[in-house]
Amino acid sequence: MLKGISIYLGMENTLEQNKALMLKARAYGFTKAFLSLHIPEAKEQAIHQELGEITALANKLHMDLLADITATTKVEGGISQIRLDDGFSPQMIADYLREHPDHKVVLNASTVSADFMDKLVELKVPADCLEALHNFYPRPHTGMGEEFFVKQNTMLKAHGLKVGAFVPSQIGKRGPVYEGLPTLEADRQGSTDLGARHLAALNLDAIFIGDNNPSEEELEALGAVKPGQVDLTMETKETAPYLQDLVGQTLHVRPDEARDVIRALETRRLAKNWDIVPHNATARQVGAVTMDNNLAGRYKGELEIIKNPLEAAKSVNVIGQIPQEELFLLSYLKAGVPFSFKVK
Q: List, for residues 104-158, the tens digit of each pLDDT value.
A: 999 999 999 999 999 999 999 999 999 999 999 999 999 999 999 999 999 999 9
pTM for this structure? 0.95
| pLDDT score, position 75 | 74
**Bridge partners, 68 (sequence order):** 36, 83
Q: Sheet of 251-252: strands edge to edge?
A: 230-234, 338-343, 251-252
**Distance separating alpha carbons of residues 336 and 263, to the nearest angstrom:** 10
Task: Kindly report each contact of residues 127-130 with a partner whose C-beta sits within 8 Å and lies 24 or more positions away, as own/partner.
Answer: 127/159, 127/160, 127/161, 128/160, 129/97, 129/101, 129/103, 129/104, 129/105, 130/104, 130/105, 130/106, 130/159, 130/161
Pairing of strands 2-7, 32-36: parallel
Amino acid 129: pLDDT: 96
C-alpha distances (whole Å) from 320 to each of 241, 279, 323, 331, 343 are 14, 12, 10, 18, 9
Tell me which of 40-54, 108-122, 161-175 is least confident. 40-54
Dist CA 225 CA 194 (whole Å): 10
Of 38-52, 62-76, 250-264, which has the strongest mean pLDDT? 250-264
Q: Find the mean pLDDT for residues 25-32.
A: 98
Amino acid at 115: D
* H/E element, 37: none
Q: Please state the domain extents for the chain.
A: 2-228, 232-343
pLDDT tens-digit profile of 217-230?
Answer: 999 999 999 999 99
Radius of gyration of the CA atoms of the chain, in A:
23
**What number does CATH give the domain 2-228?**
3.20.20.70
In this predicted structure, which of 2-16, 189-203, 241-255, 327-341 has the lowest mean pLDDT? 241-255
- What percentage of the chain carries pLDDT values higher than 90? 87
C-alpha count within 13 angstroms, C-beta hemisphere, residue 276:
32
Q: How confident is the model at residue 55 (pLDDT cuts 50, 70, 90)?
A: very high
Parallel, antiparallel, or unpaired: how do β-strands 303-306 and 288-292 relate? antiparallel
- CA–CA separation, 187 and 180 (whole Å): 9
For 262, residues 6+ apart whose C-beta sits below 8 A from its C-beta are 253, 304, 305, 307, 330, 333
CB count in 10 Å sphere of residue 224: 15
Q: Which residues pair with 128 in a beta bridge?
A: none
Task: Report the topology of domain 232-343.
Answer: Cyclophilin (2.40.100)
Q: With 80 as the cut, is the pLDDT of residue 244 above it?
A: yes
77 pLDDT tier (thresholds 50, 70, 90): low
Tell me, what's the pLDDT at 46?
84
Least confident segment among 29-33, 69-73, 248-252: 69-73
Quote the pLDDT of residue 73: 78
Sign of the CA dihedral 77, 78, 80, 85?
A: negative
Amino acid 65: pLDDT: 95
Q: How confident is the model at residue 48 (pLDDT cuts 50, 70, 90)?
A: confident
Phi, psi of 197 (to 5 degrees): -65, -30
Mean residue pLDDT of the chain comes to 95
